[in-house]
Structures are given as C-alpha cells and as structure tokens.
Amino acid sequence: MIRSEYQHHNKTKGYSTPSKLRYRIERIWRRVWLRKLILWVLILIFFATSLTSGLLIFKNEFNFRGFKSTMEAFAFERPELSIIDLNIKGANPDLSNQIKAILQLSFPINPLKININYLQELINDVESVDFSKIRITKNGILEVVIRERIPVALHRDGKQLMLLDIDGRRIGEVFSRLDRQDLPLVVGQGANYRVKESLEIYKLASPIINRVRGMILVGERRWDIVLDGNLKIKLPEKGAKKAFSAFLESGEVMKILRQDFSAVDLRNRGKVIVRTKTTVIREEKI
C-alpha cells in the first residue's frame, strides 16, 4: 500500500523509464560487432540483388554466349593442353583409315571438347574391332589401341557373304567368294552361331578338302557337307564328327566319291546310304 502510494506520487512528476526488455534489447543492439555484422550482411545482400537483377534485366543486351566462349578460350584453349595428333595402334591400314573417318577429328583439338566415352563407343561399333582403348599421352597425342577380330569363316546369308570370327560375330562383307578362298564357307540360317563346330568338321575333312565347297546347316540342326559335283554328305544331328571321321576312315570313301551320287547319307548309325542322281530316279519312275 505504502509502496503503491509512493509510486503514484513519483509517477506524476517522474520521467519515463525504459522497460527492462527495451533496455536489454538496446544494450544488445549497441554492440559494435553486431552492428558491423548487420552492415556487412546488408551490403552483401544489396550487391547480390543488384547483380542478379541487373543480369536479369540486361540479359538480352548482354552477349552471354560470346562472353562464355571468350572466357573458355581464355581459360582452356591453351597450346600446352591441346591434342595435336591421333595414333592408332594394332590395326591394319584399312581399319585405321576407317576409324579416322569415323572419329572425324581435326587437330589440334581441346581435350575438354571431346568425349572419350563417345569416341570409344564409335570405335567399338566398328565390326572388325574386338576391343579398343583410348588415352591421351603426355605429349598431346590421342592414342587408340585396337585389337582386331580375325575372320575364320565365310557365311552366306541370302546374297550377302559375311566374314565371321571364331565367335560367329560378323566382321565385314565380302563381295565374292573368290576374295577369300582361304576361308571355309558355311551356309544356312543360324550357321554363324555354330562356326566353331563347322571349323572342326572342316578340319576332319582335310583328306578331301580339295573337293569341299562348303557346309550347309539344315534346319538349324545338322550339317551337310557339299562337295563339287553337287555331292552332299549328310551328317547326323548327334555325333556328326564321329560319324564323319568313321566314314573317312573306311576304305569306301574314295570309291563312293568317285561315283556319280547326289548324296551320301551318314545319318543312320553304322549304315552309309548313297543316293544316285535324282534325275535318274525320276526317269526310272517315269
């Protein structure tokens, strides 16, 4: 009671005092470091906003692309960094010319502008390339190391003559059988998937290799060996090699082959069935 009287008495002729909260806030606000911090933040915000808004407003006037390219030229296009030549290793001249044509690079070139992975893909897409490796050497040469695929057989598919490697992958096209007489010929759908098997049979056929013209895969099951004179040796589906070698080892081979048969059928085990020329049979029938 006394106290409230006192306060009332004093309030009428006193002065206003800052509240506790205001006093504390003002004390905090007067800290010099705080003011400096706020000043710097404001300056930073001001510059950031003015820069971004300026760029947004004048973006049409400002040649960004030209600016970018000049900056890039300044930063990256340095002679000590650029690639000056291409070196292809492990490829024959034809293939390396082909790769050079595919890559379409003009030197000197900035290494930042070429995409090594893309180049690698391009090279791997070339059919006769088995495996390739690209690197940039210290003295600025783009080095491509290549392992070529080796053709082992020819495959006739329709009118096309394809070169096949040992895995049956197509390497390239040959326009005439005469171009690669050294390679055996396989014919028929799916024959390219069984190159290995056909090569083994070819190897067995070495005693009569002069007469062999090619091999036909019949129905994607079994092989026919075609000799000149249109004579076919029909191999069984299973145990083809064994049957063929047994046939070759029998003394009858030369005898049979000298005859004018149209086919020698080895499909039945232990039996060799020969067929005469169909024309003769047809004549008999008629």
Partner 1 sequence: MTIDFRRHRESRKKLRAAIRGGTLGLLDIGTSKIACLILKFAEGNRKSSRSEHLQDTKRLAYRVVGVATKKSRGIKSGEVVVADEVEKSIRSVVQQAQKMAATTIDDVLICFSGGSPVSKNLFGELKLETPIVETRDIGALLSKYDFGTASSKREILHAMPINFTLDDKTGLIDPCGLAGQTLGLDVNLMTVDQNALDNITQCFNRCQLGLAGAVFAPYASARSSLVEDELKLGSACVDMGSGSTGVSIFLNHQMVFGSTVKFGGEHITSDIMQAFKISFEEAERIKTLHGGVVITNLDDRDLIELSSGDKAEGVLNYDRPFVSRSELISVIRPRLEEILEEVDSQLDLGGFDHLPSKRIVFTGGGSQLPGFYELATDLFGSRVRIGRPMRIQGLPQALHGSQFSAIIGLAIEASYPQDEVWDFDMPFRAGATERFRLAVNWFKENW
Question: Which parts of this chain interact with partner 1 (CB under 8 A)?
Answer: 3, 6-7, 10, 12-18, 20, 23-24, 26-27, 30-32
Shortest gap between Cβ of 77 and partner 1 (angstroms)? 54
Shortest gap between Cβ of 31 and partner 1 (angstroms)? 6
Looking at the Cβ atoms of 18 and 190, the one nearer to partner 1 is 18
Shortest gap between Cβ of 45 and partner 1 (angstroms)? 24
Burial of residue 45 (CB within 10 Å: 0-12, 13-18, 19+) is exposed
What distance, in Å, lies between the first and last C-alpha atoms of the chain?
A: 148
- Tracing tokens 């092989």 back to the chain, one arrives at 223
Q: State the sign of the Cα–Cα–Cα–Cα dihedral 198, 217, 158, 231.
A: positive
Looking at the Cβ atoms of 13 and 138, the one nearer to partner 1 is 13
Q: Which residues share a beta bridge with 261?
A: 276
Shortest gap between Cβ of 47 and partner 1 (angstroms)? 26
Shortest gap between Cβ of 35 and partner 1 (angstroms)? 9
Q: For residues 59 and 78, what is the distance between their CA atoms, to the nearest angstrom?
A: 29
Shortest gap between Cβ of 64 and partner 1 (angstroms)? 47
Cis preceding linkage at 111, omega within 30? no
Looking at the Cβ atoms of 25 and 102, the one nearer to partner 1 is 25
Q: For residues 85 and 273, what is the distance between their CA atoms, to the nearest angstrom?
A: 65
Looking at the Cβ atoms of 25 and 166, the one nearer to partner 1 is 25
Which residue from 190, 159, 202 is spatially nearest to 177, judged by alpha carbons?
Answer: 159
Shortest gap between Cβ of 1 and partner 1 (angstroms)? 14
64: CB partners within 8 A, 6+ apart: none
Looking at the Cβ atoms of 23 and 76, the one nearer to partner 1 is 23
**Crossing angle of helices 20-29 and 32-57, rounded to 10°:** 70
Looking at the Cβ atoms of 23 and 46, the one nearer to partner 1 is 23
- Asked whether the beta carbons of 145 and 114 are under 8 A apart, the reply is no
Looking at the Cβ atoms of 12 and 104, the one nearer to partner 1 is 12
